[in-house]
A and B are shown apart, each in its own frame.
Chain A
């Protein structure tokens, strides 16, 4: 649809502050009397702590305090309260905080760390869920049955399984009886790091008036606030959390990550703010990592390609704490169908404690991982059925009238995956593939994708809006700007809803729990949808205030009036009007007596009927999905096994594009992250649980020279929930690259990879094996 401001490119409100170096990130904040912390990490990934001697460290220059976990008896967490701010009797992974030094400078704090003496009694180390699930495995959390959890979670006592989540639709056994062809496969999406260029950091200040003030590189100030209030027994209103600009998130700055540790340290030096910024190594070892998901999949189909049954086991190596991983497992499990309808589903997800860095969100909450499985399986199944893989897919796409694994009915307005697929097929497969030559194999691959929302039933996004006497508007919301461009989105949606130029809308900068409206956290590609709806609701309320005041001025009824951004006027005679600038703080009559209310409004928006899972793991998730399709054209260098992505195409049905420049940027970057996962990136743990590549020069993030040419297009089937029809798109572009590229590798060489990253070494080895076999 044509809108005045929505659907056009505007420059981000924060672009100038960022190109001039004036944007303030966590590490740029300096407070009076600020101290600095450095944190000691263990030598073992799983061990009992026998003793800690801090006496030598205390004597080091500049040291104010040395802190250990001794005496800390509280646990914290948003889903499972299994976290502790600092290890006490035991360490569970290699990045865990064991002790900390607080000093006058970061250097003094770091220098003193080596003087802390810790003795350990090592325990067996489990890197993979399968090891941790073995019958004789040592229990990583002995007291896990005592942990508070969300009522919907199911711990398995006496094991390392923190939660089992099951989705049942139909009867899988009947489905497999009905099937004429059955295919099984196992796919591994190893650990990765969001690896944002800004590392994590926090400042915490316990004040003498018993309030706590926090600054953090987090996207969830309200979770941090409520969690600290709970742990330290103060009212939530006495904890003030600021969020400055954030230098990239991609998932791992969601949920509570480092804040409780810094708060624990700061609680020993009350009256002084304590700052900690992670080194790049700590950003890998000691914040959150992603993925660690092995998907075992069995598909039953009819000979004509109709899918009938799906059985999936998601084995999630969720790390030493499961609070943040459990939602990743669940979303992976119920989205393992991909964009397809199966009458019978038996989907089970195991969140398993391992001695690795805790897993949290990574752009897509489990969707990347299971899309690798389902989209590779669709190509393999097509081969088994001797069918065209596009024909197999189109026979089974979720569409109007079908029912997904959660029991939600699909409607036309949920978007058109078939149309997106057809367009990708045209731009990637619509021309001849180059013929194999002396240097390269050439291949093309495809993946169709679907993403559900991810949140909590209570997750809402608030909006405060006020109009000034010159007609300009200030908007305050709780959404964290991590780079995704939500400030531009707020500005454009508000301009459209209020019928005023975007230049007259000033959007909030930092978040501050003292001033910002409530938002659970800015996750799951939900801001444009939920936040956009909240803006429209606030705008409607504020316009109603203007009309009510105007009704008194114009001596008529409010419903006879219309608003056009500049005036409120009588519909029946637009000459009878009053300017909004005269109404903004109430209307001042001739003798100064003022009538009417301030032009301001408060609103919020949740997804409709988002529910907790029932006993079958089903329950509506707000009935909003974004569908799309992606395709890759690749070259494989024969000599080296190096894979080059020459062209990557993405088409998504986003309902309504808000800002063409920004949405393209979001997809460009997401595809790059997906290509990184497919070809380069893996956080590698050795058998002792140490990360062997915790630096950028070891963990290969895609570089400038590795960017492919990209085709990016959007379909616009308007959504009934999002503002002006817009759906979420933040995470979706990361879902297709790995399966599309692996399908292209098969197309090029006939080699089936079921695990990423496909590094040149692995590719070369596979090519050599192929030659030997031939």
Chain B
């Protein structure tokens, strides 16, 4: 039976009617029309469906919608402020990490979740995070380059704020 579930997504409170067995990705893409979150596989392997749920990057294709009740969710659409991109978005765009772009939203979300909470993440931590994502185009090297550039910018922002 359909239930009403409320959460905040990209800063906006939303209440939606859902079937309780629906996955978060279906609600994000098909109910809320936020199509930036991509569907690449059906079993949480490729990582392109990642969103930030209560500060943690999670795969929305295997997150049951009921887990989103009362949560704060950020999708790739929620990262830029108007024309101003998140430093991760800028770094990934400029490092050559974008080819077909289909894995890109998941990778951007992963890095934002990691660097916003842990600007000094070690290279091993970044490697472990990025290893959750499949990319068929880039050979990963430009993604690593973009991650390291983004980290530097995020760290500088943190210093500037402090």
Residues of A with Cβ closer than 8 Å to B?
11-12, 14-25, 27-28, 30, 194-199, 245-250, 277, 279-281, 482-485, 661-662, 664-665, 668-673, 695-697, 701, 703-705, 707, 710
The answer to whether A696 and B46 touch across the interface, beta carbons within 8 angstroms, is yes
Instruction: Give the one of A199, A248, A281, A484 with max B CB within 10 A.
Output: A248
Task: Decide if the interface of chain B is mainly helix, strand, loop or mixed.
Answer: loop
A710-B139 contact, Cβ under 8 Å, with A14-B101, A20-B79, A21-B75: yes
Complex: A248 Cα to B133 Cα, angstroms? 15
Complex: A19 Cα to B101 Cα, angstroms? 7
Contacts of A483 in B (CB 8 A): 99-102, 137
Can you list 14 contacts pairing A with B, beta carbon distance less than 8 Å?
A15-B94, A18-B104, A19-B92, A19-B101, A20-B85, A21-B34, A25-B38, A197-B102, A247-B100, A247-B102, A280-B43, A661-B96, A665-B137, A669-B138
Interface residues on B, range: 35 or more
Contacts of A485 in B (CB 8 A): 99
Complex: A500 Cα to B35 Cα, angstroms? 36
Contacts of A281 in B (CB 8 A): 42
Instruction: Give the one of A21, A280, A662 with max B CB within 10 A.
Output: A21
CB distance from B60 to the nearest CB of A (A): 13
A246-B100 contact, Cβ under 8 Å, with A27-B39, A197-B48, A669-B137: yes
CB distance from A103 to the nearest CB of B (A): 14
Complex: A695 Cα to B134 Cα, angstroms? 13
A247-B36 contact, Cβ under 8 Å, with A484-B99, A704-B130, A704-B133: no
Complex: A703 Cα to B143 Cα, angstroms? 12
Contacts of B45 in A (CB 8 A): 695-697
Contacts of A27 in B (CB 8 A): 29, 35, 38-39
Complex: A367 Cα to B93 Cα, angstroms? 32
Complex: A21 Cα to B50 Cα, angstroms? 12
Q: Does B149 contact A (CB under 8 A)?
A: no
Complex: A710 Cα to B103 Cα, angstroms? 22
The answer to whether A19 and B98 touch across the interface, beta carbons within 8 angstroms, is yes
The answer to whether B105 and A707 touch across the interface, beta carbons within 8 angstroms, is no
CB distance from A360 to the nearest CB of B (A): 16
0/1 string, B89-120, CB within 8 A of A gives 1: 11011101011111111001000000000000
Contacts of B127 in A (CB 8 A): 704-705
CB distance from A647 to the nearest CB of B (A): 13
Complex: A710 Cα to B141 Cα, angstroms? 9
A704-B143 contact, Cβ under 8 Å, with A16-B85, A669-B138: yes
Sort A-B residue pairs by CB-CB distance and give the 10 closest, nearest first.
A21-B36, A483-B100, A247-B102, A18-B101, A668-B139, A21-B76, A483-B99, A28-B35, A15-B93, A696-B45
A665-B36 contact, Cβ under 8 Å, with A19-B93, A705-B127: no
A247-B96 contact, Cβ under 8 Å, with A695-B45, A710-B141: no
CB distance from B103 to the nearest CB of A (A): 5
Q: Does B140 contact A (CB under 8 A)?
A: yes
The answer to whether B136 and A669 touch across the interface, beta carbons within 8 angstroms, is yes
Q: Which residue of the partner chain B has the closest CB to A18?
A: B101
